Structure 1
Amino acid sequence: MNRTGRTQKLIVLGIDGMDPVTTKRLVDEGKLPNIKKYLELGSARGGLDMLGAHPTITPPCWTTLATGAYPGTHGITCYWRQSPDSLDAVVYNMDSRNCKAEQIWNATTEAGLKTLVWHWPGSSWPPTSKSPLLHVVDGTQPGSVNMGVSQMDWEKILYASADTESLSFIPHTQKAAGVGCNITDMNEVFSPDDDENDEMMELWWGDEARKGGEIRTYVKTLDDTEMMIGAKVAYDMIFSPLQPAADWSSAPEDALEFTLLISGGKETRYGLITRNKEGVYDTVSLYRLKTDKEPFVVIEKDKMVTGIIDTATKKGVTKQCCRSYKILELSPDGTNLRLWISNALDVTNDMLWHPAALHDQIVEQVGHIPPVSLIGGEDSELVEQIFEPSWDIYSQWQADCLVHLLDNENYDAIFSHLHNIDCAGHQIWHLGKTLEPWSHIDETVYQELIERFYVQTDRYLGRFLHFVDKGYTIFIVSDHGLLVGENVPPILGEYAGLNTQVMEELGYTVLKKDADGNALDEIDWEKTRAVQIRSNYIYINLKNRDPHGIVDPKDKYDLEEQIISDLYNYRDDRTGKRVVGIALRNKDAVLLGTNGPECGDIFFTIEEGFNRLHGDGLTTAEGYFNTSVSPIFIAAGSGIKSNFITDRVIRQVDVTPTIAVLLGTRMPAQCEGAPIYQILSDEL
């Protein structure tokens, strides 16, 4: 094979959840000028799409992009890994040691190319090569760099009012009526002896999950699904009296004071609200002590302040942390204040940076990792005022990091990942159509918010356009798209755990009951013949294989046939339509690359029209508001035809071999794709 490279420098700009259908529409509407420029300079399909791997979910798809192998080959077969000991439990999956296929960056470093892998989820950490040319940053969770290991304190909103009589703290694990408006006189005081429960944070972002224990989640009703739980507003609330400043070393005349509780309510900060020259209260300043001469942060209205260093304490350990702040509401007369305080990220944590000196370099030359917000969901004000701006700050920080490293560290290849669109999707995409559970939602508000994250991404991608002029090749890719659902999905295909409702209705899964006949989160294994867990997998409860197996191996084939038939016959109560798209035995699922020991006995997909955001259907699934699950592919720069549209079907497995051809390296060992030779400027 001719291994002469067609480029000397290559950048992969990965955008998690970026949908080609939405992208093309917005390009055509003139809203994404930078992506339009990439298309003029490069090549793509007419729809900007490629065929993704299955399941259409983050870790397997990014691993396919990195290896050129299908999930059944590389072994990262869903967001979670099936527990080897339990059919109803999952374990942590985003560990490169679980990947059975070689990554492209092993080949680039072997060829002498200095390579950076930046927050590539699923198969990048720990580093997969001992080569000093391979540098890796995080990749243990999909959200933002260091989020899984540096979280020291939760997000919070302070409500300060002249009508509030006493200081109180409500943790994010409790609910309070009227969240989102100014509430006064809350009497639920958080006990300093209680442990803060960060279960949701640990589950989603990885710190506890990475320790390897089983995670057992039963999805029985719509309320148990990720779209209901993940989009709920979850933040600490502090209610503070707002009164004239007293006992301060240096408080301006007419300043008003309030008290802020952090670190699970166990530490105190003090705040002042001050007037401008016109006599309007418009500025908040925070102090560690009332005797401090200067505040550690000054917050003006309508501006998100980031990069602020303060301490936070978790489990008895105090660290220097980075936070962001924003005033949500401040009445001109100073009678009411709502203040957002971000989560706190430990600024000293370099455990997921290889080499560790890279962390110090970024902090010194670019700045501390800015926290991203995880709240918003059904509260569109929080999405607009907090969630989106925090991701805008983060995405530009990441662009600053990558540009700095390209300019100063002479990387030959960069493989990068940004999670803004996908994180927003899990918060708000399901609200892009007004459906019964969210009948109070105006879908047009959320449709506009969806577009804003694409505009944000276009700004990010625009930061790298000038590298095309410098001779770089740039790929823009995603793992999957995100669709707005047409209907409320059935309890089948939820990736976070065991789905019980449909399997109970079909008679294959049986839950134990309490004395009142209510279903427990416990399988009755003596009566359960099969379970559905993770996105697309059904496991037979098989004798001599599974701990509680009851199905004789000689009956397995017939039972699989019965389950597949029942899945095809299953109808949605509300519409009468078929719910399951395709269902295949493990051996037949090789057609989709979802066969082998890390996959279930049956692989199935949800029929188009009943899909969640992604993960449960085919890569070709489309949804409401011109959305789709397909991933995006655009290539531009050295070695790529300009302003070219190809009719060829591009698959995710084709990305790695195309990179290998462009850089002149060998193919990774288990690569199953083929170079996209039609877009190359020179014949292969």
Structure 2
Amino acid sequence: MTQSANNSVSRRAILQGAAATAGVGALGATSYWLGGVNRVSRSFGKKVIVIGVDGMDPRLCRSLMNSGKMPNMKRMAAVGGFSNLATSCPPQSPVAWANFINGAGPGSHGIFDFIHRHPHDQCVPFYSAAETLPGDGFVELGEHRLQLDFWPFNHEPPKTVLRRQGVPFWDFLDKQRITSVFYDLPSNYPPSPSQYGYHRCVCGMGTPDMQGTYGTYQYFSEDSPASGLDEGGGKRSKIAFENGSARVTLIGPENSMLKHPTPITVDVDVHRDSASSTVLLEVQGQKIMLKPGEWSRWTKLDFSISTPRPLPSQHANGICRFFLQESGPNFRLYVTPINVDPSNPAVQLSEPSNFIEDVSQDLGLFYTTGFQEDHKARSNGVFNDDEFRRQATSVLEERLTLFEYAVENYDDGLLFFYFSSSDLQSHMFWWDADEDPQHPTRSSPEAASRFQYVKELYQRLDGIIGDIYDRYGDKATIYIMSDHGFANFGRQFNVNSWLRDFGYLNPRECASILTDADWSRTRAYGLGINGLYLNLKGRERDGIVEPGEEQEKLTRQLIARLKSVRDFNGKQVIRNVYRASEIYAGNATALAPDLIIGYARGYRASWETCLGELTPDVLLDNTSAWSADHCADALEVPGILCCNKPIHSANPSLTDIAPSILADFGIQTPATMTGRSVFTT
């Protein structure tokens, strides 16, 4: 995952389908999965269970297995097998999970990075797996602008579309009337439809919050700037008390029915009792009492969407949790991103659309945004390490409640469940001192103690794996898999600054390719984490590189020079550079970069590179709390595969999992897939 994946989607899409709703109770799941659930399906149908553990690393797994700290995965591996699992190129989560979904590489599904661009827009970025398209046509009534999708108007409202192409493997199960259920599946928002009704899915990574972003927290403190501060992934606002009381405003979705759309807001009254360090929050008739260090349960928020008379007003429901960090002397209140309410969603969050509502009816409220552990709050200093760990742990506890529900409601067919904790906690706490003893921002003891958090998380996940293996080891095929592994991220490389220094990108004083590039003198640019594009004539809006001989000469030159980049200490920065034309095959390559940069362990694209910004230095320290990553060369960060059936493939890959699952159900590998079953030689 990447910090730069927080780019906004249209807020209008959040309001599509918003229905009137009543009541704003403070509901929430109260039971936490502790293992030992006794129910095991007695159905005689074929059973396949896949546990997707994002970012689980084979090196660390082997170390913990060998030291006796992951005994359950070790005994499962003894029966079946444990192997590295080749990841996608590049090894980014949307790309990797799409490889898993299609049983084929990026050339089949068209996702090549977190960030894409349309060539005709000359590098305007958008999130690769989903894109919001503007509407067409409207009627003006006073201060309102309405889009009417019925005759005779036939306006086209804005809509968010899934950009993953190709055929997902569950379609082949669906056609054979084999049930498949997916919980928090990445790279599938909006959810792809089920033609025959045997597929259900709750969307995961890529699902937006109520502001139409991929997670925007709101933070109120007495030391915030008076004018407020919008920072990547969040907004800081100043709170001022008078006689122990204050009012703050939560920003929700935009009212896109207005000529000039403005955010819909909800006020929260805050009352502080300094003597008891207690704070009372009042929001829309709900009262929430908190002490420092306490989290509220999920709170419903009703966003009223104004409409012109005589139309009835519309409503969209959101949910949030409050975290009182300090009551004084510096009051600090964190509010989660305002999630879409799963009990009454304003946009489709599942397939079928009522599936998530059924789950919420049983469990209460829960996170619906794709990115749930708030890494942005940690990177921006709103959270310290302990606060981030607590928030991430609460996400895991909530996910385990959902996991219990998934297992309790499973009979046969395919069950897929996704855990994000091992990825996002690793981004913040991973540091392998054997590779580099010096952490860029922490002392060696601090780095070691934070890495211990990751090891403890692996041990907890091992307990979950053990419970599933105990109950289903002789009744189901069980896969434990990850999309990639992990590595230290101590140094960062700005490819656009490097291109500037070699004269490929102009002018010299360019600060951002989005605003400052002179395309008449720019031959190449970087956008996203691993992608490099030629400014190719006839493809890019302002392309100048002639296809053919000039294109080939430039490509060879860039590859050779990039592979020769060395850091101040002589270390190789870039392990390999791949031609998209050589590693991608399929009908979905239109948005592919020309070159994919595969970084050596310890290195990654700089934060500025991802959205086209330049820095004076090409190589610099990574001083972010996000100190580990996987967006390197694919050979550096394989994932894991552990199975309770013997793995016969010598080098299994993500693209092999779908054919393996289909084979378990007696379905031959479709022509759309390039992978093959891991259970065959």
Alignment TM-score > 0.5, same fold? yes
Q: Is the 8 A contact 1:169 1:189 kept in 2?
A: no
The one of 581, 598, 602 equivalent to 1:605 is 598
Equivalent residue for 1:556?
551
- SS of the equivalent of 2:298 reads strand
- CA distance in 1 between partners of 2:75 and 2:303 (Å): 44
Alignment pair present for 1:508 and 2:509? no
Alignment pair present for 1:19 and 2:57? yes
Q: Is the 8 A contact 2:506 2:522 kept in 1?
A: yes
Q: 1:579 Cα shift? A: 2.6
Counterpart amino acid of 1:342? T
Q: Is the 8 A contact 1:87 1:531 kept in 2?
A: no
Q: Is the 8 A contact 1:158 1:240 kept in 2?
A: no
Q: Using a 3 Å threshold, how does the CA distance of structure 1 residues 465 and 15 change in structure 2: closer, same or farther? A: same
Q: 1:357 Cα shift? A: 1.9
Counterpart amino acid of 1:505? D
Q: Is the 8 A contact 2:487 2:630 kept in 1?
A: no
Equivalent residue for 1:634?
642
The one of 169, 173, 178 equivalent to 1:104 is 169
For structure 1, the 5+ residue unaligned runs are 1-5, 160-167, 171-175, 177-187, 191-195, 202-233, 244-256, 276-280, 493-499, 622-628, 679-683
Equivalent residue for 1:213?
none
Counterpart amino acid of 1:10? V
- CA distance in 2 between partners of 1:314 and 1:454 (Å): 45
Q: Is the 8 A contact 1:262 1:312 kept in 2?
A: no
- CA distance in 1 between partners of 2:303 and 2:427 (Å): 28
- SS of the equivalent of 2:49 reads strand
Q: Using a 3 Å threshold, how does the CA distance of structure 1 residues 115 and 439 change in structure 2: closer, same or farther? A: closer
- After superposition, residues 259-658 of structure 1 pair within 5 angstroms as 259-264=246-251, 267-273=267-273, 281=276, 283-288=278-283, 296-300=287-291, 303-311=294-302, 319-329=316-326, 338-347=332-341, 348-349=344-345, 350-370=347-367, 372-377=373-378, 382-408=383-409, 410=411, 412-429=413-430, 438=441, 442-455=446-459, 457-458=461-462, 461=465, 464-469=468-473, 471-485=475-489, 487-492=490-495, 500-511=496-507, 513=509, 521-553=515-547, 554-572=549-567, 574-589=568-583, 596-611=589-604, 613-614=628-629, 616-621=631-636, 629-636=637-644, 640-641=645-646, 648-658=650-660
Equivalent residue for 1:179?
none
Q: Using a 3 Å threshold, how does the CA distance of structure 1 residues 149 and 42 change in structure 2: closer, same or farther? A: farther
Q: Using a 3 Å threshold, how does the CA distance of structure 1 residues 29 and 242 change in structure 2: closer, same or farther? A: farther
Q: Is the 8 A contact 2:660 2:676 kept in 1?
A: yes
- SS of the equivalent of 2:300 reads strand
Q: 1:630 Cα shift? A: 1.6
Q: Is the 8 A contact 1:101 1:669 kept in 2?
A: no
- CA distance in 1 between partners of 2:512 and 2:181 (Å): 52
Alignment pair present for 1:659 and 2:656? no
- SS of the equivalent of 1:525 reads coil
Q: Using a 3 Å threshold, how does the CA distance of structure 1 residues 260 and 454 change in structure 2: closer, same or farther? A: farther
Equivalences, count: 556
Partner deviation per Cα, 1:515-569 (whole Å, 9 max, x = no partner): xx99984221111122233333333222233322222223222222222222233
Q: Is the 8 A contact 1:34 1:461 kept in 2?
A: yes
Q: Is the 8 A contact 1:7 1:662 kept in 2?
A: no
Q: Is the 8 A contact 1:328 1:340 kept in 2?
A: yes
Partner deviation per Cα, 1:113-161 (whole Å, 9 max, x = no partner): 11123332225643154121111222461xxx664777799534555xx
Q: Is the 8 A contact 2:293 2:326 kept in 1?
A: no
Q: Using a 3 Å threshold, how does the CA distance of structure 1 residues 134 and 526 change in structure 2: closer, same or farther? A: same
Q: 1:51 Cα shift? A: 1.3
Q: Using a 3 Å threshold, how does the CA distance of structure 1 residues 455 and 339 change in structure 2: closer, same or farther? A: farther
- SS of the equivalent of 1:438 reads coil
Q: Using a 3 Å threshold, how does the CA distance of structure 1 residues 451 and 659 change in structure 2: closer, same or farther? A: same
Q: Using a 3 Å threshold, how does the CA distance of structure 1 residues 402 and 149 change in structure 2: closer, same or farther? A: farther
Q: Is the 8 A contact 2:55 2:639 kept in 1?
A: yes
- SS of the equivalent of 1:677 reads coil
Q: Using a 3 Å threshold, how does the CA distance of structure 1 residues 386 and 31 change in structure 2: closer, same or farther? A: farther
Partner deviation per Cα, 1:256-286 (whole Å, 9 max, x = no partner): x4435131486232335498xxxxx365443
- CA distance in 1 between partners of 2:188 and 2:426 (Å): 23
- CA distance in 2 between partners of 1:661 and 1:342 (Å): 42
Q: Is the 8 A contact 1:434 1:443 kept in 2?
A: no
Equivalent residue for 1:92?
127
Q: Is the 8 A contact 2:177 2:196 kept in 1?
A: no
Equivalent residue for 1:228?
none
- CA distance in 1 between partners of 2:389 and 2:167 (Å): 36
- SS of the equivalent of 1:542 reads coil
Q: Using a 3 Å threshold, how does the CA distance of structure 1 residues 618 and 336 change in structure 2: closer, same or farther? A: closer
- CA distance in 2 between partners of 1:374 and 1:501 (Å): 27
Equivalent residue for 1:215?
none
- SS of the equivalent of 1:489 reads strand
TM-score relative to the length of structure 1: 0.70
Counterpart amino acid of 1:563? L
For structure 2, the 5+ residue unaligned runs are 1-43, 131-160, 252-264, 308-313, 606-627
Q: 1:68 Cα shift? A: 1.6
- SS of the equivalent of 1:582 reads strand
Alignment pair present for 1:56 and 2:49? no
The one of 54, 77, 100 equivalent to 1:65 is 100
Moved more, 80-89 or 30-39: 30-39
Alignment pair present for 1:78 and 2:72? no
- CA distance in 2 between partners of 1:381 and 1:604 (Å): 33
Q: Is the 8 A contact 1:119 1:139 kept in 2?
A: yes
- CA distance in 2 between partners of 1:83 and 1:153 (Å): 24
Partner deviation per Cα, 1:344-391 (whole Å, 9 max, x = no partner): 324232522222221221111012014653445358993544322333
- SS of the equivalent of 1:632 reads strand
- After superposition, residues 151-230 of structure 1 pair within 5 angstroms as 154-159=216-221, 170=224, 188=226, 200-201=232-233
Q: Using a 3 Å threshold, how does the CA distance of structure 1 residues 547 and 336 change in structure 2: closer, same or farther? A: closer
Q: Is the 8 A contact 1:323 1:343 kept in 2?
A: yes
Q: Is the 8 A contact 1:69 1:101 kept in 2?
A: no
Q: 1:447 Cα shift? A: 2.2
Partner deviation per Cα, 1:422-481 (whole Å, 9 max, x = no partner): 233444547987868636794234323433443454455456445415723221111112
- SS of the equivalent of 2:185 reads coil
Q: Using a 3 Å threshold, how does the CA distance of structure 1 residues 588 and 549 change in structure 2: closer, same or farther? A: same
Q: 1:482 Cα shift? A: 2.1
Q: Using a 3 Å threshold, how does the CA distance of structure 1 residues 618 and 315 change in structure 2: closer, same or farther? A: farther
Q: Using a 3 Å threshold, how does the CA distance of structure 1 residues 356 and 609 change in structure 2: closer, same or farther? A: closer
- CA distance in 2 between partners of 1:456 and 1:424 (Å): 13
- SS of the equivalent of 2:119 reads coil
Q: Is the 8 A contact 2:649 2:679 kept in 1?
A: no
Q: Using a 3 Å threshold, how does the CA distance of structure 1 residues 543 and 308 change in structure 2: closer, same or farther? A: closer
Equivalent residue for 1:210?
none
- CA distance in 2 between partners of 1:38 and 1:651 (Å): 20
